[in-house]
């Protein structure tokens, strides 16, 4: 991914992160990250799902009442003061209709419009089961006058999506707002499979609707071309618009069970794979400078090794991933799944994935999506959840702000989001799981994959048989893999007997049943090049390691000595320079530059280095 056009970066160390010198770029420096937790306001048991208002001085948050009742949306200052409830007293059933049981309707996932006067939000039964297809998500827009920050007059207006809802066989998930406020994108789950939809927002007399809806999924004929099959067969979920509004991020797979981040140019349809690793990557946002991505990932936890390390196409994976996703996202396992990292927008380079934002978690807490960059790019806003297993009293959710002190403020101007005219219209798109029958896919280099599809995404069977299959001419695949899903509300059986030969050697054998509630029983053996797993990941994991600073003398220049400060992060084999570290020696102090070097008067004695988010040296 390239740095966005039309973005201006104010002078300072932030420029290093966007257009570093050749030496710095080759080493990808680390930086200080200071974490601050905001207190939870009286009368509430949790605060979550924050988003910045356009002024960067206030934020909107989800509020969970300490007493019974549905979640509400509030607005407060950046330091947590001045909280005001925006939705209290509004009747959500005017949007959702009456609930099917006695659970309350809650407001959630607010996104601020650039005009500062409106919020896109989701409404649903609370508490909903994560990933449950029966959860009927409904969307609305809160209009405030004169502004969200000073909402004296308010109107809750429904956003009617074209597919209807659960009653029409569609679940609408993860709606996102374009930076210019003119487009809404979301993911529809239907019997034909997941599809990423985007439409132009229009205000009518009594509601909002979407015009010109198009599908952002790759669209290719299911002929014998393996690249076409890899493109259209996996799971898809829309994640975010880029900060300039010209691109969209989404999560999908190139290899089975390897959930990665991809990017599509909304003007041209050109696609790029942003992450490439075995672990789970989803939920992403880019900084106002366009030079940094915040990426949630299971990197460092090893959660996906058993499922994803054996390389194979995702030909039967969309249905399977629905269930492995529920397993990974159940209330126990999800605490080891997704933590925010920051990484260069150019993607991983020379083995560098990025830097963990929040490794020093308090016991029982884990970070939650989505990360939201402040308008000036110096802070990342997200939230944390606490496990009930800790036995602690409330709160169970809190707002977290990560501050990047080595960065200077950035300014940006979002361009109008272009209409994706290359994408098929919603009514013209069928979806992968509308296909049934037996198909023969040719390996790009050798062999075949015989794929059989029956039923639908909500209830069906899929199988693939590989014979000397290879797309790269180096690694070859033989054997079978199948899924049998009687109902997406009930269970799925996954069987595999695969053998890998050539440049890599391994096996994948599975006899697993996934059931409602995010549970799994059965056996699995996953082995590749000597690394073996004989079970799915356990419910507990070690927290990410807090990196330690290391200091060394790097020579002298005249009467000044050069002190190099470096560190190594989880999953990285390389010591990397740390910018913005405070170095003291002999009563003198200095800050490391973009090469991780501080220059101080020559002095004896101990050298000490400190930087937020690192263990000190000396």
* Span 97-112, pLDDT tens digits: 888 777 788 999 999 9
Point out the least confidently predicted range of 215-229, 402-416, 488-502.
Answer: 402-416
CA angle 509, 510, 516 (to 5 degrees): 165
Whether residue 544 is contained in a domain is answered as: no
Digit-coded pLDDT (tens) for 393-433: 567 999 999 999 999 998 877 789 999 999 999 999 999 99
Q: Average of pLDDT values for 228-236?
A: 96
Quick one: pLDDT band at residue 133, thresholds 50, 70, 90? very low
Q: How many CB atoms lie within 10 A of CB 117?
A: 18
C-alpha closest to that of 512 among 257, 216, 278: 257
Name 113's Cβ contacts closer than 8 Å, sequence gap at least 6. 119, 120, 177, 181
Q: Residue 3: what pLDDT?
A: 40
**Domain match, 247 and 283 both:** yes
Strand runs labelled E in 253-332:
260-265, 271-273, 281-286, 292-297
Whole-angstrom Cα Rg for the chain: 25
432, HSE (Cβ side, Cα atoms, 13 Å): 32
Q: Of 377, 401, 427, at which residue does a domain stop?
A: 427
Rounded CA separation 586/609 (Å): 13
Query: 82 and 151: one domain?
Result: yes
Looking at 427, 444, 478, the residue that finishes a domain is: 427
**Strand segments (E) across 216-311:** 237-241, 247-252, 260-265, 271-273, 281-286, 292-297
Counting beta carbons within 10 angstroms of the beta carbon of residue 133, is it exposed (0 to 12), middle (13 to 18) or buried (19 or more)? Answer: middle
pLDDT in tens, 557-572: 778 899 999 999 998 9
Within a domain: residue 618? no
Contact between 176 and 167 (Cβ < 8 Å): no
State the average pLDDT over residues 347-375: 87
Asked if residues 222 and 155 have their Cβ atoms less than 8 Å apart, the reply is no
Percentage of the chain modeled with pLDDT above 90: 78
Q: Are 531 and 340 in contact (CB under 8 A)?
A: no
Q: How confident is the model at residue 388, as a pLDDT? A: 64
Q: What is the pLDDT of residue 418?
A: 97
| Same domain (yes/no): 433, 415 | no
| Contact between residue 255 and residue 311 where contact means Cβ atoms under 8 Å apart | yes
- Any idea which residue has 């710095």 for tokens? 24
Distance CA 202, CA 180 (A): 13
Q: Is residue 543 part of a domain?
A: no
Rounded CA separation 137/130 (Å): 12
- The more confidently predicted of residues 324 and 290 is 324
Q: Looking at the structure, do residues 518 and 580 belong to the same domain, yes or no?
A: no
Last residue of a domain, one of 501, 533, 565: 533
Q: Compute the Cα dihedral for 143, 149, 153, 154 and give only its sign.
A: positive
Let me know the angle formed at the C-alpha of 127 by 126 and 129, rounded to the nearest 5 degrees.
125
Span of 129-143, 179-193, 247-261 with lowest mean pLDDT: 129-143
For residue 584, pLDDT over 70 is answered with yes
Residue 101 included in any domain:
yes
Shared domain check, 182 and 318: yes
Question: Is the CB of residue 201 less than 8 Å from the CB of residue 186?
Answer: no
Output the pTM of the full model.
0.92
- Is the pLDDT at 605 greater than 90? The verdict is no
pLDDT given at position 347: 59
Instruction: Choose the weakest-confidence range: 16-30, 442-456, 490-504.
Output: 16-30
Overall residue count recorded for the chain in this entry: 618
Is 540 a member of any domain? no
Q: Are residues 462 and 578 in the same domain?
A: no
What are the φ/ψ torsions at residue 262 (nearest 5 degrees)?
-125, 165
Count of structural domains, the chain: 3
Residue 192 lies in a domain: yes
Question: Is 220 in contact with 180 (CB distance < 8 Å)?
Answer: no
Q: Measure the CA–CA gap between 65 and 336, rounded to whole angstroms.
A: 27
Q: Assign 167 a pLDDT band (cuts: 50, 70, 90).
A: confident
190 backbone dihedrals φ, ψ, rounded to 5°? -140, 180
Strand partners, 99: none
pLDDT in the model for residue 555: 87
Is 60 exceeded by the pLDDT of residue 15?
Answer: no
Query: Taking a C-beta distance cutoff of 8 angstroms, is the pair 283, 336 a contact?
Result: no
β-sheet bridge partners, residue 34 = 403
Separation CA 385–CA 335 (nearest Å): 9
Q: How confident is the model at residue 465 (pLDDT cuts 50, 70, 90)?
A: very high
Nearest residue to 325 (alpha-carbon basis) of 268, 281, 370, 360? 281
Q: Are 617 and 565 in contact (CB under 8 A)?
A: yes
Q: Are residue 449 and residue 355 in the same domain, yes or no? A: no
Q: How far apart are CA 297 and CA 284, in angstroms?
A: 9
Q: For residue 290, what pLDDT is reported?
A: 83
- Residues with Cβ within 8 Å of residue 580, at least 6 apart in sequence: 13, 31, 32, 405, 406, 591, 592, 611
Q: What is the chain's mean pLDDT, rounded?
A: 91
Identify whether the C-beta of residue 333 lies closer than 8 Å to the C-beta of residue 540.
no
126 pLDDT higher than 50: yes
| Phi, psi torsion values for 217, nearest 5 degrees | -60, 145
Q: Name the band, by pLDDT with cuts 50, 70 and 90, for residue 332.
A: confident
- Decide if pLDDT at 604 tops 90: no
Is 27 part of a structural domain of the chain? yes
Q: Is the pLDDT of residue 202 over 50?
A: yes
Q: Are residues 420 and 442 part of one domain?
A: no
Report the C-alpha gap between 266 and 151 in whole angstroms: 34
pLDDT score for 348: 61
Nearest residue to 389 (alpha-carbon basis) of 332, 429, 346: 332
- Do the Cβ atoms of 261 and 251 come closer than 8 Å? yes
Report the CATH number that the domain containing residue 263 is assigned in CATH: 2.120.10.30
Handedness of CA 295, 296, 302, 305 (dihedral sign): negative
For the cut 60, the answer to whether the pLDDT of residue 132 exceeds it is no
145 and 159 assigned to the same domain: yes
Same structural domain, 423 and 437: no
Say whether both 143 and 40 belong to one domain: yes
Distance, CA of 29 to CA of 16 (rounded, Å): 9
Return the pLDDT at 134. Answer: 55
Residue 279 has pLDDT above 90, yes or no: yes
**Do 395 and 441 belong to one domain?**
no
Strand partners, 294: 285, 342
What are the C-alpha distances in Å from 222 to residues 248, 268, 445? 25, 22, 18
User: Which pLDDT score, from 0 to 100, does residue 242 have?
Assistant: 95
Residue 539 placed within a domain: no
Task: State which residues form the domain around 522.
Answer: 429-533
Spatial neighbors of 166 by CB under 8 A, at least 6 apart, are 133, 134, 136
């Amino acid at each position: 991914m390239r740095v966005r056009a039309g973005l201006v970066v104010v002078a300072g160390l932030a420029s290093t992160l966007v257009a570093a010198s050749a030496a710095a770029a080759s080493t990808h420096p680390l930086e200080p990250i200071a974490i601050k937790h905001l207190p939870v306001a009286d009368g509430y048991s949790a605060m979550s799902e924050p988003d910045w208002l356009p002024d960067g001085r206030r934020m909107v948050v989800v509020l969970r009442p300490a007493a019974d009742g549905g979640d509400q949306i509030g607005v407060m200052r950046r330091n947590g003061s001045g909280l005001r409830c925006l939705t209290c007293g509004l009747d959500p059933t005017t949007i959702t209709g009456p609930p099917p049981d006695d659970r309350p309707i809650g407001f959630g996932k607010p996104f601020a419009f650039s005009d500062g006067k409106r919020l896109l939000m989701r409404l649903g039964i609370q508490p909903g089961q994560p990933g449950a297809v029966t959860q009927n998500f409904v969307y609305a827009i809160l209009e405030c006058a004169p502004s969200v920050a000073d909402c004296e007059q308010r109107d809750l207006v429904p956003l009617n999506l074209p597919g209807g809802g659960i009653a029409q066989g569609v679940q609408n998930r993860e709606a996102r707002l374009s930076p210019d406020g003119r487009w809404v994108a979301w993911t529809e789950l239907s019997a034909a499979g997941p599809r990423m939809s985007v439409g132009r927002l229009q205000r009518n007399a009594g509601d909002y609707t979407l015009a010109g809806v198009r599908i952002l999924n790759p669209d290719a004929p299911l002929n014998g071309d393996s690249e076409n099959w890899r493109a259209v067969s996996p799971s898809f979920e829309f994640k975010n618009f880029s900060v300039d509004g010209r691109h969209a991020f989404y999560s999908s797979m190139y290899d089975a069970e390897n959930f990665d981040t991809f990017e599509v140019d909304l003007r041209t349809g050109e696609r790029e794979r942003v992450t490439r690793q075995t672990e789970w990557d989803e939920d992403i946002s880019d900084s106002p400078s366009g030079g940094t991505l915040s990426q949630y990932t299971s990197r460092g936890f090893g959660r996906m090794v058993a499922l994803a390390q054996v390389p194979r196409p995702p030909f039967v994976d969309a249905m399977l991933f629905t269930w492995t996703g529920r397993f990974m996202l159940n209330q126990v396992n999800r605490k080891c799944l997704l933590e925010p990292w920051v990484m260069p927008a150019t993607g991983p380079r020379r083995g560098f994935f990025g830097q963990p934002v929040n490794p020093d978690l308090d016991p029982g807490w884990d970070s939650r999506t989505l990360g939201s960059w402040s308008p000036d790019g110096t802070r990342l806003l997200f939230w944390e959840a606490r496990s009930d297993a800790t036995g602690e009293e409330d709160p169970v959710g809190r707002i977290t702000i990560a501050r990047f002190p080595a960065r200077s403020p950035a300014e940006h101007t979002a361009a109008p989001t272009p209409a994706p005219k290359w994408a098929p219209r919603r009514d013209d798109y069928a979806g992968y799981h509308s296909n049934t029958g037996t198909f023969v896919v040719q390996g790009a280099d050798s062999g075949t994959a015989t794929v059989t599809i029956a039923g639908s995404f909500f209830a069906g069977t899929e199988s693939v048989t590989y014979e000397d299959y290879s797309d790269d001419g180096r690694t070859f695949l033989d054997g079978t893999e199948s899924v049998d899903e009687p109902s997406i509300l009930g269970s799925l059986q996954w069987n595999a007997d695969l053998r890998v030969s050539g440049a890599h050697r391994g096996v994948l054998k599975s006899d697993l049943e996934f059931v409602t509630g995010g549970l799994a029983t059965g056996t699995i053996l996953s082995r590749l090049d000597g690394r073996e797993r004989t079970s799915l990941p356990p419910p507990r994991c070690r927290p990410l390691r807090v990196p330690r600073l290391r200091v060394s003398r790097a020579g002298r220049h005249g009467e000044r000595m050069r002190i190099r400060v470096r560190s190594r992060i989880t999953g990285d084999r390389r010591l990397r320079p740390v910018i913005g570290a405070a170095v003291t020696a002999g009563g003198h102090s200095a800050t490391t530059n973009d090469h991780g070097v501080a220059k101080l008067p020559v002095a004896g004695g101990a050298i000490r280095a400190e930087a937020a988010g690192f263990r000190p040296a000396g």
